[in-house]
Amino acid sequence: MKPAHFGEAIWASLPVPAILLDPGDMIAEVNPAAEGFLNASARALKSAPVFDRLMIDAPLDDAF
């Protein structure tokens, strides 16, 4: 197995949702577990603002 394919296999087999963001907090990549968690396909999620798709009920201002 080539290294690039090996990394893709690990990403796809992660049992927990994983979301990769670009510098502008836009969704760049999601794994299959994240597709199920967010109830949307990777194609629909790509380039979407992360906070339009993921709601966090926590005082984030205090964290920074």
Using CA atoms, how far apart are residues 61 and 6, in angstroms rounded to an integer? 38
Query: CB under 8 Å, gap of 24 or more: what pairs does 16-19 form?
Result: 19/50, 19/54
Instruction: Give the pLDDT score at 2.
Output: 57
The residues spanned by each domain of the chain are 13-54
Which residues sit opposite 27 in a β-bridge? Answer: 21
**What is the mean pLDDT of each successive set of 10 residues along the chain, which is 64 residues long?**
74 94 96 96 96 81 69
- How much is the pTM? 0.77
